[in-house]
Structure 1
Amino acid sequence: MDDVTVVVASRNRRDQLLRYLPRHEVPVILVDNASEDGTADAVSEAMPHVHVVRAHTNMGAAARNAGAELAATPYVAFADDDSYWEAGSLGKAATLLDVHPHVALLAAQVLVGADGRGDPISAAMKAAPLGSPPDLPGPAVLGFLGCAAVVRRDAFLAVGGFNPTLHVYGEEALLAMDLAAAGWGLAYVPALTVRHLPLPTGRDIEGRRRRQARNDLLTAWLRRPLPIGAAAARAAWRAGGPDRAGLGDAARLLPWALRNRRLLPDHVEASVRMLAGAHA
């Protein structure tokens, strides 16, 4: 476990951090996204062993990039302020990444709440719609949950990490595509386990759906063929509500998306289409 650092990005979640940061077995870097509730001071006082980085602005998921850059280990595990890695999981992850040098990301199973119910996304990855190639330590994936992934640090940074423009919600998809496009393997390993204990209230469901819709569209426009992006835009318009609002948000960023557009290699695009068919 000396080869892994946990990176946590957080904003205004002091109490959750004080509760769950001590559960991690390896060194932790906390990137505080300009919290207004005294997070940085509270964590520094209670856990001086945690490396606290005070961001001047809310960078969203891209704060994880800053943490990864500071990590001195070859592997970086991501966690949220309301999640932690179960004992032994990060040691297993480091061993698997040692044995599989062409793999850049391992996705763990996620157990939600005090009763440990399985996350539906973990179940979808376990179903292995992309198969289980013998050179991977588990089913191939092209997505993951941000609080439940271990990455090869150099590969993660080489593709740019999490895109700052996407900020939060759905940011994992673009990173997974870019790692696969760079030739790296990504796998789901249910022997790795993350506990996720989200608060039952206080989440802006409509706002989250709007941001998710925006980021899904931007990801399509950045990496997918034009007919795919156009179809996604029409679907968002027909859906109305937060999806249509997300379409408007994405449209304002269309010039940025076109400047940064880079189509996926054919084999990765084929895998993305296969996943879409399986989910449908």
Structure 2
Amino acid sequence: MNSDRVTVVVATRDRRERLFETMPEHRAPVILVDNASTDGSPEAISAAFPSVEVVRLAENRGAAARNEGVRRAGTPYVAFADDDSYWAEGSLARAAALFDAHPRLGLLTARVLIGPDGRPDPISVAQAAAPLGVPPGAPGPSVLGFLACAVVVRHEAFLQAGGFEPRLFVYGEEALLAMDMTAAGWWLCYADDLVVRHFPLPAGRDDGARHRIESRNRLLTALLRRPPSVVARTAVATFRESPTAVWDAARALPWALHHRRTLPGPVEAALGRLGG
């Protein structure tokens, strides 16, 4: 193991074969949170990897399944991985050392290398360019977004911010958490020497449904945290992209308005510099 101060939380649903490929690559204690799989994943993983703590959920909670894993983790730091990803050798130990050295650090996001050839994920390239600069004393550039499979969080900071919002379910759920952790005063930083290997399947998912959900979540996130002018622009853009996504968001409007709270000025200004 690379670190006994980090727990890896993996959320999965019906991806047994992928799990058998990635589970042997983890170098820290693993909590596997199963979103009500029907392919026998929990039983198969428990039998093949007895050191893995398998949590069987009675329903599919989407991204919020990770919250259950964090609550069960007994370590000060928690890394997320998908069933098709894992952290490269030494990365979790380096992450733990950075958290130990920086008490204000709430989240670290890594460089993501995609596929067998290890091509850089465009999101990592954008983060490395440091559009928000580097806070004095911070271990790397500030970020206001991340890929969930490529972050390590401080246990305390994640739970304080409420974790992933269950109503967003999946796709684009990271944005709201990034806003809330930053608003709470935590640093969110990119660290180029932390590496995640990601092996997404080339096909098999409904891209139309994913686009609709992502568009809905973008609008709901704006309703929950952004000023009216941004909400209006987001609604217009969403309608142009996916009118059905606007209808989906409208049905959740009473909930969004009830949970709405605007961001501190510096956080909103940083989002403005990023173009939203």
Tell me if TM exceeds 0.5.
yes
Looking at structure 1, the residues matched to 48 and 200 of structure 2 have their Cα atoms a distance apart, in angstroms, of 22
Q: Which amino acid aligns with 1:98?
A: D
The secondary structure found in structure 1 opposite 2:153 is strand
Match of 2:210 in 1: 208
Q: Are residue 252 (structure 1) and residue 254 (structure 2) matched?
A: no
Looking at structure 2, the residues matched to 205 and 188 of structure 1 have their Cα atoms a distance apart, in angstroms, of 28
Match of 1:168 in 2: 170
Q: Which amino acid aligns with 1:174?
A: L
Match of 1:87 in 2: 89
What is the 5 A alignment of 1:56-75?
56-75=58-77
Q: Please list the CA deviations of residues 21-55 of structure 1 after superposition, one character each: whole Å capped at 9, or x if unmatched.
A: 11010000000000000000000000000000000
Match of 1:178 in 2: 180
Q: Which amino acid aligns with 1:52?
A: V
**Shift, 1:248, TM fit:** 1.2
What is the 5 A alignment of 1:182-261?
182-239=184-241, 243-261=242-260
Q: Please list the CA deviations of residues 224-244 of structure 1 after superposition, one character each: whole Å capped at 9, or x if unmatched.
A: 0011111111111123xxx22
Match of 1:123 in 2: 125
Q: Are residue 21 (structure 1) and residue 23 (structure 2) matched?
A: yes
Q: Which amino acid aligns with 1:159?
A: A
**Shift, 1:133, TM fit:** 2.1
The secondary structure found in structure 1 opposite 2:247 is helix
**Shift, 1:132, TM fit:** 1.5
**Shift, 1:203, TM fit:** 1.4
The secondary structure found in structure 2 opposite 1:52 is strand
Q: Which amino acid aligns with 1:143?
A: G
Match of 2:9 among 4, 7, 10: 7
TM-score (norm: length of structure 2): 0.98
Contact 2:104 2:186 in 1 (8 A): yes
Looking at structure 1, the residues matched to 93 and 229 of structure 2 have their Cα atoms a distance apart, in angstroms, of 43
Q: Which amino acid aligns with 2:250?
A: A
Count of aligned residue pairs for this structure pair: 274
Q: Which amino acid aligns with 1:101?
A: P
**Shift, 1:134, TM fit:** 2.9
Q: Which runs of 5+ in 1 are unaligned?
A: none
Q: Please list the CA deviations of residues 78-110 of structure 1 after superposition, one character each: whole Å capped at 9, or x if unmatched.
A: 000000000000000000000011010000010
What is the 5 A alignment of 1:118-157?
118-157=120-159
Contact 2:5 2:75 in 1 (8 A): yes
Match of 1:45 in 2: 47
Q: Please list the CA deviations of residues 238-277 of structure 1 after superposition, one character each: whole Å capped at 9, or x if unmatched.
A: 23xxx22211111110110000001000010001111117
**Shift, 1:77, TM fit:** 0.1
The secondary structure found in structure 2 opposite 1:147 is helix
Looking at structure 2, the residues matched to 110 and 41 of structure 1 have their Cα atoms a distance apart, in angstroms, of 30
Looking at structure 1, the residues matched to 182 and 19 of structure 2 have their Cα atoms a distance apart, in angstroms, of 32
The secondary structure found in structure 2 opposite 1:64 is helix
Structure 1 vs Structure 2: percent identity of aligned residues? 61
The secondary structure found in structure 2 opposite 1:53 is strand
**Shift, 1:116, TM fit:** 0.4
Q: Which amino acid aligns with 1:233?
A: A
Looking at structure 1, the residues matched to 148 and 142 of structure 2 have their Cα atoms a distance apart, in angstroms, of 17
Looking at structure 2, the residues matched to 78 and 87 of structure 1 have their Cα atoms a distance apart, in angstroms, of 15
Looking at structure 2, the residues matched to 134 and 264 of structure 1 have their Cα atoms a distance apart, in angstroms, of 22
Q: Which amino acid aligns with 1:115?
A: D
The secondary structure found in structure 1 opposite 2:21 is helix
What is the aligned-residue RMSD (CA, Å)? Answer: 0.8
Contact 2:239 2:245 in 1 (8 A): no
**Shift, 1:200, TM fit:** 1.1
Looking at structure 2, the residues matched to 164 and 146 of structure 1 have their Cα atoms a distance apart, in angstroms, of 15
